[in-house]
Structure 1
């Protein structure tokens, strides 16, 4: 018996323990042998009480919970039911009287209990998967027989209690369902032969088979379980493989809309690399980069430094710069498209939480990779502004001074499209540059993705054969006046013959007062049908000057 146990991978401990293990392997009936002299009063089966503890046979002390089944005597818990016995009633070389216990424990009452306490046992492994509950007494009789043969002694009476055994409901097996699930014709004769090979009892009900699962097969509960057994007997390699065929319709692609993939390629063409960062971030990031004191908290974060959901993409991009700088890279240009999360009572589809899809980019270091054809210079605000303008083409974005928690107070601006603010652009705040040890400030932009996906359709416009007339207009305006306001106003007030108004010079300094600045515009005028007269051109310029004087307090620069 010892050699058979060793060949089965179990070590010999003592004659009583070896007999218990031998019967478990022989009949698949886990059992336990108590030292009867150590048991006080009778044994009862119950659920554990809060605060009870048990020292197991492996010398591990566990704190039991009310969902753990136990076997107890008058003094307390003596065994972890169906899993492992207790050390206080374990058999030893001095044992003279024993009590043999064998039972059927429901799989639901055993599953996960041993893993909860970080150990496993042969009994738990079997009871978790289901053990034959018919004739448990046979296991006790076999243990008793071996004890009498190897140790001698006298057998006592058997106490057999039966309560709440599982009900094994018959399962209907339909040949049509078998053929449909397996994808091959499976005749009634073939099904009947397979059921007979598995010694499963069944009766016929028309074309169907009513199969009675045996008491030791807890894996046969529904029709698909039987179909799986048929597939196993038929042979998985004998089941033909049919590639799925999908009837796909070509979707209509709107010319007035582009995909996020198009936006990715556009930024990649401008020397940016895409990154994918975690949506779970540090709480400090939300305060640093979004000024957010009420971020979306995670109920069960995977790490302490990932306890909240991000409401901005800037923090992840700055962290990418920090990581690359540690690896001695001196130029980083990255972008990310991802969702940002914030509290919003009106949000859909998840009430209470907005999930905005955003795009953000960051440029740090030299404007161009080191080369011989151009002098090295750091990336500045207008480099990134040009990238944003290319991102929104053919639409025109408007930029206006604005403040953002993560950006330099005097070097940041809002990004507007169609009169709506969609994001921000600027230089990272000096405090954050110092805090994250970046040496120099990166330039960042972040905006909502959805407005960028709309694309204006090209419209036909007649190419004029008439000569164009150009006039330069220099205006003195207050220093607080932004270029975008003046330029947008002049374009809206210009008559039909004005084809373009563009800025070509900004001047502040000698010759003008300290509270003024000069904007110089080039005005292109042209008609498609006739040559413009000088009087008409002069009247148009005068109209634009009067508009600038009225709206912005501008005056002509001498």
Structure 2
């Protein structure tokens, strides 16, 4: 928010300088981002009156002016401005003056005529970009006055960086309330005039949506002169607040919004047929706005309608059909309270930069609507003339201001300073809060303008702000350092991150809200959880998978010429689940499990001389996952299954101890092509909780006996997976004590006569080791035959000759 210091001091004028005032505001949470003079530095510029302006004898576009600069002797100045005329008050840069940009004024001859100074435009003084002619100064100034003093150009322009909860400070009145509370100076209350009602005209208004509009007020004013000039003091304040003056009626509406924080709207009454109806929009309706943008409306957007059609986007922007023009003679002045929840996100959805919407979606004072309309009406009558009708005020559905309790002991404990009840009561009194003492508790009823006061901590923050954050001593908290025993079987999030980082992955943190297309394409989720107020139109739903974010990370790096990317993320995902109930960290109907996902793309190994380059594949990433699981890797099973984001023949469902924990596979070629990747990444996504439990290590004595190794080649049907064979072998070993000498089994070769062959040959390597004695050949042979028999019985396997 931008405003001049002089405007603020007209409401609250503490006995401190501007620099100290900016510091006080910043330390109270209203950060002053900039505090600069309105005009850039220049010197030697005074007010001057043009006494005569004659054509230059040697140039068609120049004039020779005689100028009174207050020195007693007229100056001769050659000027090329088209508006140079006798009687005009303009800025004069005297000889020796220095203008913005380092331009120094000296005597010159222009086409043979001497010029002793320069008459200036607004752009030459750095006041605006207007270079069409000389800057015309208001009447009443005396020649010779220093221009900076005459126009108060040293007025400091403050720019506040407000947090979203402080909508009450989006006005001069709101900031002045803060200044009065911080410094103890007097706050000038606005003088509410009693506007004489001279006509009895009314415009009927029907509010059909109480959840959209809680209060609606307005009045008719007839016979206004829309061509009237906006008073110089209003124009000056608007310009210094960053607003461009437009016309008297629009300028008055903007002025009321900036000064009082009250967004209003002015309808051209001749363009409004019948009365007004406030309702929710219907599907398929369209509205042309004041900025000439036509928007397609949805049922969650509020509108104001008249007999001829839609007139306004409620609380955001007026419509083009009922906009006031310089020909307008009758107007309807409107001010309303729109529920913040009904406005939130709508301006951003339509890409509208609306001052009204910015305020209404944060909450606007609903108690002072009639008073502010009276002030606005008085300004309209003073500037544009006319006759005012009675004020109609409908109170439909206002927010209940629920009292908030603050415990004095809790406040002192949170802030870390001793506070007595009188000091806290004085803070609330200076802030204008109505409160009641109940022992050492304060029960505060929040003002209508403060939508940010809902819990005890909000009141504690108010005490800290007014007491002064800089007055709270910087003392570190003292707490006993108790070492907590960490279960050895528990692998926390930090350990999971460290394990993946050790496998050459880099951690990323992506948004929890994603593009809707990601949910549809990568997750097959047709009904994702939607955000009511997304920060960007494309980030409109909550993620149910981490894969989309990792693929976006890889695509971004690939576009920036990175050839090898390995990333992982540990974070929450969100899915609908009717069994979830509300809780401290839970939302009814929404499951929020923590997932761990990783993606690898590019060469399996970084470029080197020892190994030839090859793309990363399914088994490389599976090995990384097994390393993450440690001793539990033996429990991991890969089951062939389909996933919307993965290649149908190169993906697997992951099971750990018989429980499904996630997915592993190569990204579907369709999505790799959509991301413009020359080859597909390999990804896995697992339930972080499922892999956080480890097996407690049990030390065992190592055998000193030699190891016997045997190879076994078998024929088996091509559709029998290796995992099934391995499970059969392990079951037989567990059931037969004589097979306890089998220490390991590995598959080292697969062969088939042709790609279409119905059987394939698998070559297994078996390791045998006795505990107390060296194994004999007959024992080893018995074990081999027993294992072969198990495979033959279960899978029809036969020995390959």
User: TM-score w.r.t. structure 2 length?
Assistant: 0.48
1:215-364 to structure 2, matched below 5 A, reads 240-247=473-480, 249-290=482-523, 292-302=524-534, 303-347=536-580, 349-364=586-601
Instruction: Report if the CA contact (8 A) 1:427-1:444 is conserved.
Output: yes
Instruction: Report if the CA contact (8 A) 2:791-2:797 is conserved.
Output: yes
1:17-32 to structure 2, matched below 5 A, reads 28-31=190-193
**Residue equivalent to 1:485:** 724
Q: Structure 2 CA distance, aligned partners of 1:315 and 1:514?
A: 38
Q: In the alignment, which of 210, 216, 220 is matched to residue 68 of structure 1?
A: 216
Q: Cα deviation per residue 1:102-156 (whole Å; 9 max; x = unaligned)?
A: xxxxx999999xx999569xxxxxx95999xxxxxxx9xxx9xxx9xxxxxxxxx
**Residue equivalent to 1:368:** 605
Could you tell me which runs of 5 or more consecutive residues in structure 2 were left unpaired when the two chains were aligned.
Answer: 1-5, 12-136, 140-186, 225-248, 257-261, 270-335, 348-352, 357-363, 369-374, 383-404
Question: CA 1:363/1:48 → structure 2, altered by over 3 Å: closer, same or farther?
Answer: same
**Residue equivalent to 1:541:** 784
2:638 is the alignment partner of 1:399: yes
Q: In the alignment, which of 671, 677, 685 is matched to residue 438 of structure 1?
A: 677
Instruction: Report if the CA contact (8 A) 1:286-1:311 is conserved.
Output: yes
Instruction: Report if the CA contact (8 A) 1:274-1:335 is conserved.
Output: yes
Quote the offset at 1:376 in angstroms: 1.7
1:140-159 to structure 2, matched below 5 A, reads none
Q: In the alignment, which of 484, 496, 518 is matched to residue 762 of structure 2?
A: 518
Instruction: Report if the CA contact (8 A) 2:739-2:783 is conserved.
Output: no
Q: Cα deviation per residue 1:389-446 (whole Å; 9 max; x = unaligned)?
A: 1121111222232222222222222222112222221211122222332121111112
Quote the offset at 1:241 in angstroms: 4.4
Local SS of the residue matching 1:297 = coil
Q: Structure 2 CA distance, aligned partners of 1:301 and 1:234?
A: 35
Q: Structure 2 CA distance, aligned partners of 1:405 and 1:534?
A: 52
Question: CA 1:515/1:225 → structure 2, altered by over 3 Å: closer, same or farther?
Answer: closer
My pick for the range that moved more, 309-318 or 177-186, is 177-186
Select the structure of larger CA radius of gyration: 1
Quote the offset at 1:452 in angstroms: 0.9
**Residue equivalent to 1:378:** 615
**Residue equivalent to 1:410:** 649
**Residue equivalent to 1:20:** none
Instruction: Report if the CA contact (8 A) 2:661-2:690 is conserved.
Output: yes
Q: In the alignment, which of 724, 733, 748 is matched to residue 505 of structure 1?
A: 748
Q: Structure 2 CA distance, aligned partners of 1:250 and 1:491?
A: 42
Quote the offset at 1:498 in angstroms: 2.2
Quote the offset at 1:225 in angstroms: 12
Q: Structure 1 CA distance, aligned partners of 2:466 and 2:511?
A: 47
Q: Cα deviation per residue 1:11-45 (whole Å; 9 max; x = unaligned)?
A: x999xxxxxxxxxx9764243766x7xx3x3699x
Local SS of the residue matching 1:415 = strand
Question: CA 1:179/1:431 → structure 2, altered by over 3 Å: closer, same or farther?
Answer: closer
Quote the offset at 1:484 in angstroms: 1.4
Quote the offset at 1:473 in angstroms: 2.1
My pick for the range that moved more, 336-345 or 495-504, is 495-504
**Residue equivalent to 1:422:** 661
Question: CA 1:298/1:370 → structure 2, altered by over 3 Å: closer, same or farther?
Answer: same
Quote the offset at 1:262 in angstroms: 1.0
Question: CA 1:180/1:493 → structure 2, altered by over 3 Å: closer, same or farther?
Answer: closer
Local SS of the residue matching 1:452 = coil
Q: Structure 1 CA distance, aligned partners of 2:748 and 2:7?
A: 95
Q: Structure 2 CA distance, aligned partners of 1:507 and 1:226?
A: 72
More contact order relative to length (CA 8 Å, sep ≥ 6):
2
**Residue equivalent to 1:18:** none
Could you tell me which runs of 5 or more consecutive residues in structure 1 were left unpaired when the two chains were aligned.
Answer: 15-24, 52-63, 89-106, 121-126, 132-138, 148-171
Q: Structure 2 CA distance, aligned partners of 1:441 and 1:225?
A: 51
**Residue equivalent to 1:530:** 773
RMSD: 5.9
Q: Structure 2 CA distance, aligned partners of 1:189 and 1:286?
A: 56
Instruction: Report if the CA contact (8 A) 2:565-2:601 is conserved.
Output: yes
Quote the offset at 1:186 in angstroms: 6.6
Q: Structure 1 CA distance, aligned partners of 2:675 and 2:414?
A: 58
Q: Structure 2 CA distance, aligned partners of 1:460 and 1:315?
A: 42
Q: Cα deviation per residue 1:484-506 (whole Å; 9 max; x = unaligned)?
A: 12122212212453242222521
Quote the offset at 1:266 in angstroms: 1.1
Instruction: Report if the CA contact (8 A) 2:602-2:616 is conserved.
Output: yes
Local SS of the residue matching 2:499 = helix
**Residue equivalent to 1:390:** 627
Question: CA 1:8/1:360 → structure 2, altered by over 3 Å: closer, same or farther?
Answer: same
Q: Structure 2 CA distance, aligned partners of 1:224 and 1:502?
A: 63
My pick for the range that moved more, 64-73 or 546-555, is 64-73
Superposition misfits of 4+ residues, deviation over 6 angstroms = 4-7, 73-76, 79-88, 107-112, 172-182, 186-192, 207-210, 221-236
Instruction: Report if the CA contact (8 A) 2:742-2:766 is conserved.
Output: no
